[in-house]
Amino acid sequence: MTLAVFLYVVTLLTPGGPQPPGAMWRGQVQPLTSYDIALATVVCGALVFRRRWPRVVLAVAITGFVAYLVVAGGRSPLELGLGMAVYTVASRNPRRHVWVYGGLVALVVTAARVVFAGSTLLAPEVLGPIAFIGMAAAIGDAVRSRRAYVAAIEERARRAEETREEEAERRVMEERLHIARELHDVLAHHIALINVQAQVAAHLLATEPDQARTALGHVRHAGKEALDELRTTVGLLRRPGSRDELLTEPAPSLDRLPDLVDSFTGAGLKLGWLIYGDPRPLPAPVGLAAFRIVQEALTNVSKHAPRATATVRIDYASDAVVVDVADDGESDPGGISSGTGHGLIGMRERARSVGGTFVAGPVEDGGFRVRAVLPTPRKNSP
C-alpha cells in the first residue's frame, strides 16, 4: 500500500507528453492531463494488489502503458509502475516463466513505441524502457532465488533438529531397554534363589535347624549378590561416561558359569553342564549375553519346573558360541510355555544385539529348551 502511494506521487510529479525542444532546460514542462492522472490512478491503484494477483496487475500496468502511448505518444510516466509489476511477477514465479513474461512485456513496449510514438528500434526511448524492464526482472528473480535459498536452509535446519531429536529418543529407548534387561536378569535370578531357599528354611526350621541355617546362609549370599549387581546396574544411571566403560569391569561372562551352576544346585535344582570345543575368551558383549541367557534360562526352570533336571551345553564353535539350556520337566499352569515372557524377550534381544539368533519353546518329549547362537569371529593370525 505504501509503495503504491509513493509510486503514484512520483508518477504525478513526472512530466508527461511530448516536450518541446529545450523545454526541460528552460523550465517549461508540460503538465499532466486528466487522462494521464486517470491512467496513473488505475495503474498505481492496481499495485496495491500486486502480491495477491501479480499477473493481473502486470496486465493492467502494460495496458495502461500502451493506452498512454496511444493518446500522448511521448515519454510515459507509468514506467515505474510497469517496472514494479514486472519485479513482483519475477519474484513469485520460476525463472523460466520470468523471462517469458519479461520478453513479452519488452516486446509489447517496443511495438507500442514504434507504432504509436513513431520511435525507431534503436532509439533511446525504446532501449531505455527495455533495459529498465530487464533490470526489474533480474532483481525480482534474484530476490526469489534468495528467498528459496533461505527457505531451503531453514528447512534443512528444521530437519536436522528433528533428526537429532529422533536420534536422542532412539538412544534413550535403547538405554531404557538395556537397563530393563539388566534389572530383570539380576533381580529375577537372585530373588528366585532367595524364594526357594526361604521355603526350604521355613520347612526345615523346626525339624532340621542345621539345614535351615544353611538355607538361610544361601539366602543371605543371594541377597548380597543381588545388592552388588543392582549397585553396579544403578551405576549406569548415575555415573558419567559410556555404557561400555561402565560394564567393562563388572560384566560377567562364561568364566563365571561354575559359580552360577553352584548357586542353582545349592538351591536344590538338579543341574548338569557340558562344555564342547575349546573354551576361549569371548568379546565382552558376547560373553555377557551368553552368561545372562544361561542365567535367565535356569531361573525360568527353577520358577516353573523346580523338580525338573536341567542341562546346560556350551559349544565353542570356530566362529560362534552356542548356548543350549534344556529341562525335562513340565511347566506350572501359570508358567512360560510359549516363548513370550519378559525373560525370553530379554534373552532374544541380547542374542540379536550381538548379531546372533535365539529360539525357545517346549520340546516334544516334555520340558522346555532355549538355544542361542552367538557369533564370535576370530581375528586372523598375523
pLDDT, position 248:
43
Average pLDDT of span 358-379: 86
- Split at pLDDT 50, 70, 90, the class of 381 is very low
When pLDDT is averaged across residues 40-55 and rounded to a whole number, the result is: 76
- The CA-based diameter of the chain, rounded to the nearest angstrom, is 136
Which pLDDT does position 371 carry in this prediction? 94
**Highest mean pLDDT, choosing among 15-19, 126-130, 190-194, 289-293:** 289-293
d(CA 204, CA 213): 9
The residue that leads in pLDDT, 274 or 216, is 274
Q: Residues 29-49: what's their mean pLDDT?
A: 69
118 pLDDT higher than 60: yes
Structure confidence by residue, pLDDT tens digits, 210-256: 877 877 887 777 777 777 777 776 766 665 554 444 444 456 788 88
Looking at residue 247, its pLDDT comes to: 45
Beta strands 309-316; 270-277: pairing state: parallel
Other beta carbons less than 10 A from residue 276's beta carbon: 12
Mean pLDDT is lowest, of 41-55, 158-172, 269-283, 331-345, for 331-345
SS3 of the chain: the string is CHHHHHHHHHHHHCCCCCCCCCCCCCCCCCCCCHHHHHHHHHHHHHHHHCCCCHHHHHHHHHHHHHHHHHHCCCCCCCHHHHHHHHHHHHCCCCHHHHHHHHHHHHHHHHHHHHHHCCCCCCCHHHHHHHHHHHHHHHHHHHHHHHHHHHHHHHHHHHHHHHHHHHHHHHHHHHHHHHHHHHHHHHHHHHHHHHHHHHHHHHHHCCCCHHHHHHHHHHHHHHHHHHHHHHHHHHHHHHCCCCHHHHHCCCCCCHHHHHHHHHHHHHCCCEEEEEEEECCCCCCHHHHHHHHHHHHHHHHHHHHHCCCCEEEEEEEECCCEEEEEEEECCCCCCCCCCCCCCHHHHHHHHHHHHCCCEEEEEECCCCCEEEEEEEECCCCCCC
Confidence of residue 315 (pLDDT cuts 50, 70, 90): very high
- Per-residue pLDDT at 370 exceeds 50: yes
Helices 209-238 and 257-266: crossing angle in degrees, nearest 10, is 140
Considering only residues 345 and 24, tell me which one the structure prediction assigns the higher pLDDT.
345
Prediction pTM value: 0.48
Per-residue exposure over 239-268, b if at least 16 CB sit within 10 Å of its own CB, e if not: eeeeeeebbeeebbbbeebeebbebbebbb
The residue-averaged pLDDT of 275-304 equals 88
What mean pLDDT is predicted for residues 97-101? Answer: 77
More confident residue, 9 or 320: 320
Would you state the pLDDT for residue 131?
A: 82
Please report which confidence band the pLDDT of residue 324 belongs to, taking 50, 70 and 90 as the band edges.
Answer: very high
pLDDT at residue 337, rounded to an integer: 43
Distance of CA 250 to the CA centre of its chain: 34
pLDDT for 17 equals 43
Residue 114 has pLDDT above 80, yes or no: no
Instruction: Give the per-residue pLDDT at 275.
Output: 92
pLDDT tens across 164-214, in order? 888 888 887 877 777 777 777 767 767 777 777 787 778 777 788 887 787
Share of the chain above pLDDT 70, in %: 76
Is a pLDDT exceeding 60 seen at residue 359? yes
Instruction: Give the rounded percent of residues in the chain with a pLDDT score beyond 90.
Output: 10
Instruction: Give me the chain's average pLDDT, please.
Output: 76
Least confident of 107-111, 333-337, 340-344: 333-337
Say what the pLDDT of residue 125 is.
67
Q: Is pLDDT of 84 > 60?
A: yes
290 pLDDT tier (thresholds 50, 70, 90)? very high
CATH topology (fold) of 255-382:
Heat Shock Protein 90 (3.30.565)
Question: Can you tell me the mean pLDDT for 148-154?
Answer: 89
pLDDT of amino acid 380: 44
pLDDT at res. 312: 94
